[in-house]
C-alpha cells in the first residue's frame, strides 16, 4: 500500500473551468415539465452543462416557434439551477444543413462531387456514352506500352446529349386539342427518352483512355443530400437559419449561461469533392486551371500527378476553412460564444484525405477543438489509428495557444457498457491530451427505436444512473488537474498529408500500407512513453529554434522533429527543416527519402525548389530505421521521468513499462499521468528525479494513475478511476496466496477474513421479465389451438409482420404461486395501428403513463387476469389489430417475483411468486438466481463479528476487497457510507469503521441495463471472493 502526503499543486492559476457535459438528445415530444425534471437529474449527477441536441425522433418541428419555446424552457431552467446551456447547430448531424433547409430552400447549395467515367479505345471513330450531369470536360489520353502519357486531346467539343432509347406509344384518343379529346383518331406516337452524353469523334491511331468528367449532386445522409460547405453563400444561409435565429432570442445570454455552440462532423463529401466556386479559388491559390488536369485527380499519370493532388486536397481544405470554419468562428467570437465541436473522419488517413484534408489546420480554427470517440474502442496495438483523433484535437489546441481540447465520447458503445469501460476510455483520452468530456448521450426518451439509436443512454433509463455522479466527480477532477501547468513533450511528429494525397484515390493498396505503418509507428512511440504533438506545414512554418529547442505556440517546446514515412513532402517544410538542422535541431527521417511537392505560394519549378530547400544535402539530420527508433531516441533525449517495469524482488528491470504518458509542468514541479498500454497488469516502479526515492505499484489493465512530482517527493492525485483524496493508492490483493479465516472464528488469527459466504440479497426495484418472443396469426386463434403453430418472432431483433387487415400476436409466459401485483409495461411506440390487448382472453384497460424506465412507459396491473391454481400456469398475452397494424416493441412484466427459463435459458419465461429476498450461500450472478432481466440496484447484507485482538493486531489499515463486481458498488459499514467503486480493484479502506463485536456490512451493487433492453443475459452483481485484508 502506498501512502503519501497530499498538498496543493504548485502551479500557475491560468486554469480553465473543469467540465463534464451532456449530449442531451431531444428526440420526442418535449414536455416542459419533463425538460425541467431531466435537467434537475443531470445537475444532481454533477454535470456542468448540456448541449441542446436535436436528435432522431424529435417530433417538435425544428427551427419553429415551438422549438424555440422548448429551448427557452431549457435555457431559463439552466440559469436557475446553475447549468451551462450549450447550443448545437444542427438537426441532427452533420452540421451545415439547418435540418435540410439550406438545400431544400436553395437547391443550388447542394453538395457536389466530380465523377469520372473512363473508356479504353483504339484509333478511329468512337461513340462513347455516359450518364448526364454538368459536363466539365472530356479528355482522351494516349497510352504507350499500356502506360498513360501527357499527350491529351480535349474532346469536350465532341461531346453532347443524345436520347438513344425508344419507347412505343399508341395514342388511343386525340389529345392534341383538349376541347375535342373524344374525337381524336387512334395512332402511333413513338418517342426517344433517357438523355445521356455521347462522345462521337475520330481518334488518331494508337491506344487511348477516354475520360469523361461530370459534376453531379452527391446523394448523402438522412436528407438525401448535403450542403456545399465550400460555397460561402451556402454557409451564410446556414448561419442565417441557425446562429442568427438563436442570437435574436438569446443574444443577451451569450457568454454567460450559453457559453458556446457545437458544430458536428462537417466535411466535403465524395472521393473528389467539387463546387462551382472551386475553380476560381484554385486558380487564385496555385495559378493554373485545375480543370485542365482533371485526369490526375483520378489516375496516376506520372510523377507530377502528386503535385496536382497535393494542390487539389490543399485547396479543398483551405476553401472549407475560409468558407465554413472561419466565418462561424468569427461569428461566434463577435457574439461572445465559443465555437467547439469536431470534424469527421479524424482517425483514418485515407478518409481524412478525401473528406477532411489538412485536418489540423481546420481544427486550429476552433476556439475549443474536439474529437469523437464512438464504438467502444480506444487506441491500442490492435487499433493504433484511433490515437489520431485525440492527438489531432490536443495538438490543435497546443499549436493555437489553447489549454482545452474536448471529446464527444461513448456513443454506439452498446447498452452493456459499464463504468470500468468508461473510465478506461476516459483515462486514455486524458493521457492523449483531452481535457473536457461530452457524454454521448442523455436521451430524452428511449421509446421505440430510439433505444437503438447509437446507445447507450447514460441517463435515467439506465440502471447505472444512480451511480453516475461518482463518474462525473472523477471526470470533473481530472479535467481540472489536466488544465493546470503547461503541457510538456519532447517530440513533434510531422503528419504526412502530402504522401496520402499522392496515393488517393487509385493507389489505395499503397495508401493502406502507409496508413498501417504510420499507425504502428505512432502507437509504438506512445506506448513506450514518447508523447508527441502532431504538426502540419502551416504550423511548422510559424515555428523557430531557440536555445536548441523548437518553439511552438503557447509555451510548447520540442527537442526533436520526426518525419515519418513521407513519400512526398512539401517544399516549404523541406526548406524549414533545412533551417532547423542548421540551427542544431535534430530532424529525423523514418522511411525512404521523400519526393518534393511545391508548397502553395512557392515560385519556381519543383526541381528548383527542392535544390533550394536541400542545398544538395539532406534536409534531415538522421535517417532512422523503425526498429531502432526507440533506442535512438533514448540515446539523445534524457527524460526526467520514466516508468519502469519492476523486477521480482523489487527495483527496476531496466525495461520501460508499456504505458502512455502525459506530463504537465509548473516551475520545478511536474504532474504526470501514466495509462497502461497493454491488456495485462504491469508491476512498475518510478524513481524520483531529485531525491532518488523509488515507488513500486501495479498499473492495472483498465486504467491509469496521476501523481505530482514535487521537489521532495510524490503525491498521488488519482488512480484506477478514483480520486485519491487520502493519498492512498489501492492495489489488487494476491487472491491465490492470501491465507484466510472465516468470520465465524471472530478473526482470532491471520490477516485475511473471508466474507464470501452467506449474504442476504434485496432488490431495490421490481423484477422484470421481457416478453420478447411472439407468435403472429393473420386470423383469430381457435380455442385450444397452440399459439406455437406459427414461428416465434423476437421483437428485440426485428418488428413483427405488418398486418394489412386483421392480425393477432400471442406471447406466453408461465407462473407459479399466488400472483401479486404484476404490471404489464409497454411503450408509446410499441405498436402502429389500433390495438387491443388481452390477457388470457380478457381485454385489459389502457395503461396509465408511468416512468418504469422511460417517460413514455404505460402500465396496467394484470394480476386479476392471471391464471391461479396449484402448479405451473400458462398465461397468454394477446394483441389484436382489427384493421391492420404492427407490433414493434416487446412488452415487459414488472413485479415482486423471480424469473427462470425452463427451456435451456430460452423463452418463454416463468414467474415465481413468493419472497423476493434471497439468501445466498455462494455469491452468484443475478441471472442465475431469478433476476435475468433485472436492471437496477441490489443490496447485499450480512453481519460479522470481530474481536478486539484482531482489530488491534499490528497493521496499518484494513481493507475490504471484492474480487468481481458487475458493474459498480457502494459500501456501507455499520451504517457509514465508505464510497463508491466503479472500477477494479473494488477496494475500500474500512479501518475506521469497524468495531469489536457485530459489524453490519452492506454492499449496494448495480448492473448494466442490457438485459432489460435486449433480453440477453450478462453477469451481474458480486461474484467470487470478498475479504477483509490487513495491510
Cα distance between residue 388 and residue 360, in whole Å: 11
The predicted pLDDT at position 353 comes to 98
CATH class for domain 491-635?
Answer: alpha beta
Burial class (CB in 10 A: 0-12, 13-18, 19+), 496: buried
Residue 673 pairs with which residues in a beta bridge? 662, 706
* Cβ(979)–Cβ(751) below 8 Å: no
Nearest CA to 51 among 74, 70, 33?
74
* Cβ(61)–Cβ(32) below 8 Å: no
Which CATH number is correct for 743-762+934-1030, 3.40.50.620, 3.10.250.10, 2.60.120.260, 3.40.190.10? 2.60.120.260
Which grid cell sits at 394?
A: 490536443
Cα distance between residue 406 and residue 388, in whole Å: 14
- By three-state DSSP, how is residue 644 classified? strand
Give one DSSP letter per residue of 686-707, joined into a string. Answer: EE-TTT--EEEEEE-TT-EEEE
- 64's CB contacts (< 8 A; 6+ apart) are none
Burial class (CB in 10 A: 0-12, 13-18, 19+), 888: middle
Condensed to tens digits (0 to 9), the pLDDT of residues 874-889 reads 999 999 999 999 999 9
Using CA of residue 304, residue 305, residue 307, residue 308, what is the dihedral sign? positive
- By three-state DSSP, how is residue 1024 classified? strand
Nearest CA to 386 among 407, 358, 403?
407
Cα distance between residue 819 and residue 841, in whole Å: 18
Burial class (CB in 10 A: 0-12, 13-18, 19+), 633: buried
* Cβ(430)–Cβ(931) below 8 Å: no
The residue count for the chain: 1031
Which grid cell sits at 695?
A: 515507488
Nearest CA to 457 among 526, 410, 394, 522?
410
Number of neighbouring beta carbons within 10 Å of residue 814: 18
Q: Domain residues of the chain, as ranges? A: 21-107+228-268+335-483, 112-217, 491-635, 643-729, 743-762+934-1030, 767-913
CATH topology of domain 767-913: Jelly Rolls (2.60.120)
The predicted pLDDT at position 286 comes to 96
- By three-state DSSP, how is residue 338 classified? strand
Burial class (CB in 10 A: 0-12, 13-18, 19+), 641: middle
Question: How high does pLDDT run on average in the chain?
Answer: 92
* Cβ(526)–Cβ(381) below 8 Å: no
The predicted pLDDT at position 11 comes to 30
* Cβ(722)–Cβ(983) below 8 Å: yes
Which grid cell sits at 900?
A: 427462470
Cα distance between residue 413 and residue 1008, in whole Å: 12
Number of neighbouring beta carbons within 10 Å of residue 618: 16
The predicted pLDDT at position 1009 comes to 97
Cα distance between residue 796 and residue 798, in whole Å: 6
pTM of the model: 0.95
The predicted pLDDT at position 173 comes to 59
**Alpha helix stretches (DSSP H) within 877-996:** 948-952
Give one DSSP letter per residue of 180-196, joined into a string. Answer: GGGGPPPEE--EEEEEE
Which grid cell sits at 580?
A: 532547423
Which grid cell sits at 743?
A: 468470520
Q: Comparing 491-635 with 743-762+934-1030, is the CATH topology the same?
A: no
The predicted pLDDT at position 740 comes to 45
- By three-state DSSP, how is residue 542 classified? coil
Condensed to tens digits (0 to 9), the pLDDT of residues 339-376 reads 999 999 999 999 999 999 999 999 999 999 999 999 99
Low-confidence ranges of the chain (pLDDT < 70): 1-18, 170-176, 180-184, 609-615, 649-653, 725-750
- By three-state DSSP, how is residue 295 classified? helix
Task: Give the CATH superfamily of 21-107+228-268+335-483.
Answer: Glycosidases (3.20.20.80)
Cα distance between residue 1007 and residue 113, in whole Å: 48
Q: Could you tell me the CA-to-CA distances from 412 to 408, 439, 455, 862 in Å, in that order?
A: 11, 12, 5, 36
**Alpha helix stretches (DSSP H) within 418-495:** 419-431, 468-481
The predicted pLDDT at position 440 comes to 97
Amino acid at each position: 500500500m502506498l501512502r503519501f502526503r497530499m498538498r496543493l499543486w504548485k502551479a500557475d492559476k491560468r486554469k480553465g473551468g473543469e467540465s463534464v457535459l451532456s449530449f442531451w438528445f431531444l428526440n420526442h415530444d418535449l414536455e416542459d415539465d419533463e425538460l425541467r425534471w431531466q435537467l434537475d437529474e443531470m445537475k444532481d449527477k454533477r454535470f456542468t452543462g448540456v448541449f441542446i441536441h436535436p436528435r432522431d425522433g424529435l417530433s417538435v418541428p425544428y427551427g419553429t416557434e415551438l422549438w424555440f419555446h422548448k429551448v427557452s424552457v431549457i435555457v431559463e431552467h439552466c440559469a436557475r439551477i446553475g447549468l451551462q446551456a450549450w447550443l448545437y447547430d444542427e438537426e441532427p448531424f452533420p452540421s451545415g444543413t439547418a435540418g435540410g433547409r439550406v438545400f431544400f430552400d436553395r437547391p443550388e447549395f447542394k453538395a457536389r462531387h466530380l465523377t469520372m467515367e473512363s473508356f479504353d479505345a483504339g484509333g478511329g471513330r468512337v461513340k462513347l456514352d455516359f450518364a448526364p450531369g454538368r459536363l466539365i470536360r472530356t479528355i482522351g489520353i494516349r497510352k504507350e506500352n499500356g502506360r498513360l502519357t501527357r499527350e491529351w486531346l480535349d474532346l469536350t467539343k465532341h461531346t453532347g446529349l443524345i436520347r438513344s432509347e425508344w419507347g412505343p406509344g399508341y395514342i388511343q384518343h386525340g389529345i392534341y386539342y383538349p376541347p375535342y379529346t373524344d374525337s381524336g383518331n387512334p395512332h402511333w406516337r413513338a418517342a426517344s427518352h433517357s438523355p445521356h452524353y455521347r462522345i462521337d469523334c475520330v481518334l488518331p491511331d494508337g491506344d487511348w483512355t477516354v475520360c469523361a468528367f461530370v459534376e453531379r449532386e452527391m446523394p448523402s445522409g438522412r436528407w438525401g443530400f448535403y450542403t456545399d460547405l465550400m460555397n460561402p453563400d451556402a454557409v451564410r444561409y446556414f448561419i442565417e437559419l441557425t446562429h442568427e435565429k438563436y442570437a435574436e432570442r438569446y443574444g443577451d445570454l451569450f457568454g454567460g449561461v450559453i457559453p458556446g455552440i457545437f458544430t458536428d462532423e462537417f466535411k466535403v463529401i465524395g472521393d473528389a469533392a467539387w463546387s462551382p466556386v472551386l475553380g476560381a479559388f484554385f486558380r487564385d491559390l496555385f495559378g493554373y486551371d485545375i480543370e485542365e488536369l482533371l485526369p490526375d485527380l483520378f489516375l496516376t499519370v506520372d510523377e507530377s500527378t502528386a503535385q496536382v493532388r497535393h494542390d487539389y486536397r490543399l485547396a479543398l481544405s483551405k476553401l472549407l476553412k475560409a468558407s465554413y470554419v472561419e466565418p462561424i468562428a468569427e461569428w461566434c467570437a463577435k457574439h461572445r460564444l465559443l465555437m467547439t465541436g469536431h470534424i469527421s473522419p479524424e482517425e483514418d488517413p485515407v478518409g481524412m484525405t478525401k473528406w477532411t484534408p489538412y485536418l489540423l489546420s481546420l481544427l486550429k480554427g476552433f476556439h475549443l477543438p474536439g474529437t469523437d470517440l464512438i464504438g467502444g474502442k480506444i487506441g491500442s496495438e490492435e487499433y493504433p489509428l484511433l490515437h489520431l483523433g485525440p492527438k489531432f484535437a490536443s495538438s490543435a489546441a497546443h499549436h493555437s495557444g489553447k489549454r482545452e481540447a474536448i471529446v464527444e465520447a461513448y456513443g454506439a458503445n452498446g447498452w452493456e457498457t459499464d463504468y470500468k469501460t468508461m473510465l478506461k476510455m476516459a483515462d486514455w483520452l486524458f493521457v492523449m491530451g483531452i481535457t473536457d468530456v461530452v457524454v454521448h448521450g442523455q436521451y430524452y426518451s428511449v421509446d421505440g427505436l430510439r433505444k437503438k439509436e447509437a446507445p447507450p443512454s447514460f441517463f435515467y433509463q439506465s440502471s447505472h444512473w444512480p451511480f453516475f455522479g461518482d463518474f462525473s466527480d472523477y471526470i470533473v477532477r481530472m479535467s481540472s488537474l489536466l488544465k493546470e501547468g503547461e503541457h510538456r513533450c519532447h517530440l513533434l511528429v510531422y503528419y504526412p498529408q502530402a504522401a496520402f494525397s499522392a496515393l488517393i484515390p487509385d493507389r489505395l493498396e499503397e495508401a493502406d500500407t502507409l496508413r498501417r505503418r504510420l499507425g504502428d509507428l505512432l502507437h509504438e512511440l506512445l506506448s513506450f512513453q514518447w508523447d508527441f504533438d502532431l504538426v502540419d506545414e502551416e504550423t511548422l512554418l510559424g515555428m523557430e529554434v531557440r536555445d536548441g529547442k523548437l518553439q511552438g505556440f503557447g509555451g510548447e517546446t520540442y527537442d526533436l522533429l520526426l518525419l515519418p514515412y513521407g513519400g512526398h513532402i512539401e517544399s516549404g517544410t523541406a526548406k524549414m527543416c533545412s533551417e532547423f538542422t542548421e540551427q542544431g535541431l535534430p530532424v529525423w527521417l523514418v522511411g525512404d527519402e521523400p519526393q518534393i511537392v511545391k508548397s502553395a505560394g512557392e515560385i519556381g519549378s519543383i526541381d528548383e525548389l527542392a535544390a533550394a530547400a536541400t542545398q544538395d544535402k539532406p534536409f534531415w539530420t538522421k535517417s532512422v530505421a523503425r526498429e531502432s527508433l526507440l533506442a535512438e531516441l533514448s540515446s539523445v533525449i534524457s527524460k526526467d521521468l520514466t516508468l519502469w517495469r519492476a523486477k521480482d524482488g523489487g527495483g527496476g528491470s531496466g525495461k520501460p513499462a508499456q504505458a502512455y504518458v502525459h506530463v504537465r509542468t509548473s516551475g520545478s514541479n511536474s504532474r504526470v499521468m501514466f495509462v497502461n498500454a497493454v491488456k495485462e497488469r504491469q508491476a512498475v516502479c518510478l524513481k524520483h528525479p531529485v531525491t532518488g526515492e523509488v515507488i513500486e505499484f501495479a498499473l492495472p489493465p483498465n486504467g491509469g494513475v496521476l501523481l505530482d512530482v514535487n521537489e521532495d517527493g510524490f503525491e498521488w492525485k488519482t488512480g484506477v478511476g478514483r480520486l485519491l483524496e487520502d493519498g492512498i493508492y489501492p492495489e489488487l490483493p494476491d487472491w491465490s496466496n492470501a491465507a484466510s479465516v472465516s468470520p465465524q472464528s471472530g478473526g482470532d488469527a491471520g490477516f485475511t477474513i473471508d466474507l464470501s459466504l452467506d449474504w442476504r440479497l434485496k432488490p431495490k426495484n421490481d423484477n422484470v421479465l421481457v416478453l420478447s418472443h411472439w407468435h403472429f396469426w393473420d386470423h383469430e386463434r381457435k380455442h385450444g389451438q397452440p399459439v406455437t403453430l406459427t414461428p416465434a418472432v423476437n421483437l428485440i431483433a426485428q418488428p413483427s409482420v405488418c398486418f394489412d387487415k386483421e392480425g393477432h400476436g400471442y406471447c406466453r409466459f408461465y407462473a407459479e404461486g399466488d400472483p401479486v401485483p404484476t404490471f404489464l409495461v409497454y411503450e408509446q411506440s410499441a405498436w402502429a395501428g389500433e390495438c387491443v390487448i388481452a390477457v388470457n382472453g380478457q381485454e385489459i384497460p389502457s395503461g396509465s403513463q408511468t416512468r418504469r424506465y422511460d417517460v413514455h412507459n404505460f402500465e396496467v396491473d394484470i394480476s386479476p387476469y392471471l391464471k391461479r391454481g396449484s402448479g405451473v400456469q400458462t398465461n397468454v398475452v394477446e394483441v389484436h389489430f382489427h384493421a391492420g397494424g404492427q407490433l414493434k416493441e416487446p412488452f415487459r412484466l414488472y413485479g415482486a417475483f423471480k424469473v427462470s427459463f425452463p427451456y435451456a435459458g430460452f423463452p418463454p419465461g416463468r414467474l415465481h411468486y413468493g419472497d423476493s429476498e434471497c439468501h445466498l450461500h455462494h455469491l452468484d450472478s443475478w441471472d442465475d438466481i431469478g433476476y435475468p432481466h433485472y436492471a437496477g440496484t441490489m443490496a447485499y447484507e450480512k453481519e460479522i463479528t470481530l474481536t478486539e485482538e484482531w482489530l488491534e493486531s499490528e497493521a496499518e489499515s484494513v481493507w475490504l476487497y471484492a474480487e468481481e463486481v458487475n458493474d459498480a458498488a457502494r459500501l456501507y459499514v455499520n451504517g457509514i457510507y465508505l464510497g463508491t467503486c466503479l472500477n477494479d480493484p473494488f477496494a475500500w479502506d474500512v479501518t475506521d469503521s469497524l468495531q469489536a463485536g457485530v459489524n453490519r456490512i452492506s454492499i449496494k451493487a448495480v448492473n448494466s441495463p442490457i438485459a432489460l433492453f435486449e433480453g440477453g443475459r450478462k453477469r451481474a452483481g458480486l461474484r467470487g471472493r470478498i475479504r477483509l485484508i490487513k495491510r
